[in-house]
Structure formats: structure tokens, C-alpha cells
Structure 1
């Protein structure tokens, strides 16, 4: 009878086998969630009144679009006057100056964010961080830019109102103290709402805070498998919304004189807005294609090859 020591290559072979299986399983799982997210997105496009379900995601995409303009303005040395989000999914970012980088950042920034989500969503151990990070990003965009440089003045009273309202819900406090905290928190919220209505930013604050808090809660509370589907769904929505908006931008640029990012680029460069819309659309398609190639061909093949060695 021979001992296993007589076969020195047996153990490395088993280790290589066990290393390949998780890579293949992870690839199959990632592909399954991506396919499900894509099918769900396409089905929602044709289902009547499905926009009610995708409405929060549309708002999220708008925040990313307008936030990309704002961040590009800061990187260019300009300050952001204000960032407004509208209930119909449109938005507007006013900056102290503009260049080609700021004008291009909206659509390309949204597409880049979408493909980054898509790429990292294939790692189940990253989905919680992606959801929490996306929520924090929306909260920061809201706090930093909705009221421009005056946005920080909203943070302290908003935090104080939240603390008072949460404190008033504690059952171990005397009833008078609870009612007092709830009343004070309610008055602060009312005053902040009046201020936001006066400045035309109430909807932007409500949308930003609700979306940000919801994404953070999903990242903390959902199981990794469900979280992976949510992040894939969010990524697919970002990518398809960006491509759909670019297609709409092309037709608007070709047949109308509507104010748009492409029209701004045309004024700055002298190149027709239609050309810019085409360039952004092609860039978006290339970004998505390269990302899908990296997910389902280059990375899995490289990992399997290294495991076999």
C-alpha cells in the first residue's frame, strides 16, 4: 500500500481544483444577477405605470448627473451656485463658470458611475459598501450643492430637528419631555420647509435625503445576495438611463433649439450640438462594452488560469 506522500503532486492538484470552482461559481452567480436585473429593467420599460417603481431610481440618476456637473465645476476652480432636482426627472446645476469639462460631465459622469457600479457589483462582498457609499454620495451632493454655499446652514438645524424627533420617540422619557421634544423638532422642520419653499429647493432636499437614507439602510439591512441584485439593477438603470437620455439629446439637438449640455458645448467650441450628442453616445456605448468584457471574459479567464497554475 502506498502513502499519499508517494504522490507529491496530488495535493497541489486538489488545491487547484478547489480554487477554480469558487471562481466559476462566482462568475455564474454574477451573470445570473446581472441577467435578472437587465430583464427586470426591460420588463419595467413596457409595463404600464411601472414608472412608479423606477421613479426613485430616476431621481438617483438625476442626482448623479447633476452632481457630476457640480464636481467637474469644483475641479475646474468654479463654485456651485445651486443644484436643483425636479419631480419629472430633470435637473439644473448653476455654476460660476463653465468649460467643456463641466458641460460633458453630466452624461459621461452618469455612465461612468453606472459602469463602475456594474463592475464592482460582481463581487458580493462589496455590495453593502456600494449601497452605503451611493447613499452617502447622494447625501453629500444634497448638503453641499442644493443651496450652494448656504447649504451648510441647513445641516445643523436639520440634525438638531432629527435628534429632537428621535428623542421624543423614546418611551423611557416623561410624557411632557417627549411632547416638548417632538414639538420643538416639528417646529424646526416646519421652518426649514418654509425656507426651502422660498428658495425653490424643497423637493431637492426631500428627494436627496430620502434617497440617501434609503440606500444606506439597504446597504446595512439587506442580505448580500439581495444586495447584489439591487446594485446590479441600479447599475443597469444608470447605464440605460444615460444611453436613453443621450439618444433623446441627439434628437433634441438635431431638430430643436432646446437648451442642453450639447448646446452649451456647441457655443463654446463651434462644433454642432448633434456631433457632441453622437460623441457622448458612442463613448457611453464603448464604456459599457469594455466593462462587460472585463466582467465576463478578461477577469474570469485570468483568474481561472492563475488558479490552474
Structure 2
């Protein structure tokens, strides 16, 4: 008897993901559905700036994501040209990498685990302003005291003080994040990491595969969409942006940088889609002749 287990092909998942992303961009109020993903896209964008800063020898004093999906990374030193380019192109590149990884269902679980752990680390190291390690220390202390309290409770020993201490440490960490303006960034990072790791450990393989492909499409399209808005802003000379930073560093107009990023971004996405489609076309052909 043939198996009825649901296991859509990679091509089917890709077409569904593209259709879903396009619909959320075009239909009225579709942005509401895409809003959490756009917040995560901003998180990835700012993480790109932060990583480029560290890799090129600079230091990061804070990374912040706002409710309007804008963001800011405060850094010192490093290679300014690479740092300014790493936001938009980093988002597109991560999306493209996920698409390439999405060619094989067997890779999906490991990809989600790496992405989840990476999101946790980015949150803990870069999230917010000031020393995020204070919040990390508070949470670790809170969890540690709670674990000790639970252990004492199981041994029928008094544990109220440990539970209370754990609660105080956790609340102190949350208060620090709130007062430093980092709470939203941490919420985005922790929720995203929890979802990624939860799917990696508990979801069906096809769901893991779908999430990798959907995130690849979303981040690729969101990155390109953001660059399109950047071009509009630079043409109208509205506000500060990464392209304006590049213009200040090089003397080349901001619009030129925005258009260049758009061309590079489109090229990256086209190559990723081509690799995805070619790989799955070859697999479909091999399956048909077996």
C-alpha cells in the first residue's frame, strides 16, 4: 500500500512561500501578517552591521530594533564600507543562503538549529544599548536559583528564598532591558530563537523544510524591498541611512550606493533561485527514471 504521508517537494514549498510573501506584500493589510517577519528581518539587518563591525576589528555598543521595523546599531571602528553594506546585503545573503540550503530536506533541521543558536547569541551579545551581559547574567542567575530551588523542593527542603531570589534576578534583568530600551530587541531575538529551535526539535521534517525555504524567500524579498525604499529615500534626500553613510565615506552619491546594493542583491537572489531550481529539477529527473 502506498504511503500517504504528507511530504511536499521542495519546488512546491518554494512556490507556496513565494506566493505567500507576494500576497502579504500586495493585499490590503497583508503587512499585518508579515509584520513579525519584518521585525526579524530588521534584527538580521542590524546583526549584519554588528557582525561586520566585529569581524573588521571594531566594537559594538548596542543594537536596537524599533516597533516601526527600523533599527540602529552603534559601533566604533571597523571597516566602514563593509559595515554600512552589511545590513541590506547581509539580509539578502542570509535569505539566499537559506534558499540554497532549502534544496535538501535533510539539511533543514541543522540549518534551523544553527540559525536559532545564532539568533540567541546575537541577542545576548549585541541586543540593546550598554552592556547586555548584565541582562544575560541576571537571567542566568535567575534560572540557576530557580533550578536550585526546584532541587531543594524535591528533597523536601525549604526553597522559598531561592525561588524568590530567582524571581528578583529575572525581574531585575527585565527591568534593565526595559530602561535601556533593549526589551523589544530581546523579545524579538528570544521569540525567534525559540520558534526556530522548537521547529528544529519537535516539528515534522516537511515543516522544518518549509520554514527554511519560507525564511529564505522572506528575507530575500524583504531585503530587496527595503533597498527599493532606500532608493526612494535617497532620491528624495530624506533622512539618514546606510547609503548616506557610504556617501559621506566615499563622496559617491547615496543613490548610487543604493542602486548598486539593489543590483548586487538581485544578482544574489537570482543565483540562489537558479541553484535551488536546478538542483530540484535534477532530483525530479532522477526520480522519474528510477
- TM-score range (shorter-chain normalised) is 0.7 to 0.9
Structure 1 residue 258 corresponds to structure 2 residue 266: no
Gapped runs of 5+ residues in structure 2? 1-6
1-side partners of 2:183 and 2:89: how far apart? 27
Q: Which structure 2 residues correspond to residues 148-167 of structure 1 after superposition, within 5 A?
A: 150-165=131-146
Aligned to 1:246: 227
Which residue in the other structure is 1:286 paired with? 267
CA distance in 1, matches of 2:31, 2:244: 28
| SS at structure 2 position matched to 1:257 | coil
State whether residues 82 and 148 of structure 1, in contact with CA within 8 Å, keep that contact through their aligned partners in structure 2: yes
C-alpha root-mean-square deviation of aligned residues, in Å?
2.6
User: Cα–Cα, structure 1 residues 300 and 166, in superposed 2: closer, same or farther, change >3 Å?
Assistant: farther
1:23-63: per-residue Cα shift (whole Å, max 9, x none)? xxx9x811001011111222223444444433332222111
Determine the C-alpha separation between the residues in 2 that align with 1:212 and 1:302: 32
Match of 1:59 in 2: 39
- In the alignment, the residues of structure 1 paired with residue 142 and residue 211 of structure 2 have an alpha-carbon distance, to the nearest angstrom, of 31
Name which one, 1 or 2, has greater alpha-carbon Rg. Answer: 1
Inter-partner Cα distance in structure 2 for 1:65 and 1:133: 17
Task: Return the alpha-carbon distance in structure 1 between the equivalents of residues 10 and 208 of structure 2.
Answer: 12
How many angstroms does 1:227 deviate by? 1.1
Secondary structure of 1:84's aligned partner: strand
Structure 1 runs (4+) deviating above 3 angstroms are: 46-53, 163-176, 179-182, 298-305
Cα pair distance change 1:42/1:151, threshold 3 Å: same
State the SS of the aligned residue for 2:62.
Answer: strand
State whether residues 167 and 181 of structure 1, in contact with CA within 8 Å, keep that contact through their aligned partners in structure 2.
Answer: yes
Indicate whether 1:35 and 2:35 are aligned. Answer: no
Q: Decide whether aligned partners of structure 1 residues 114 and 143 sit closer, same or farther in structure 2, where only a CA change above 3 A counts.
A: same
What is the TM-score with the length of structure 1 in the denominator? 0.82
2:200 to 200, 219, 231: 219
Distance 1:190 1:40 in 2: 39
Q: Give CA deviations for 1:108-164 in whole Å, capped at 9, x if unaligned.
A: 111100000011012111111111211111111111112567222332321222344
Contact 1:80 1:95 in 2 (8 A): yes
Q: How many residues align?
A: 280
Match of 2:118 among 97, 117, 137: 137
Contact 2:102 2:276 in 1 (8 A): no
Contact 1:86 1:203 in 2 (8 A): yes
Q: Determine which of 68, 83, 87 is the counterpart of 1:106.
A: 87
How far is the alpha carbon of 1:89 from its aligned partner?
A: 1.2
Match of 1:94 among 57, 64, 74: 74
Displacement of 1:300 in angstroms is 4.5
| d(CA) in 2 for partners of 1:88, 1:257 | 17
Most deviating of 248-257 and 57-66:
57-66
Name stretches of at least 5 consecutive residues in structure 1 with no aligned partner: 1-25
Partner of 1:208 in structure 2? Answer: 189
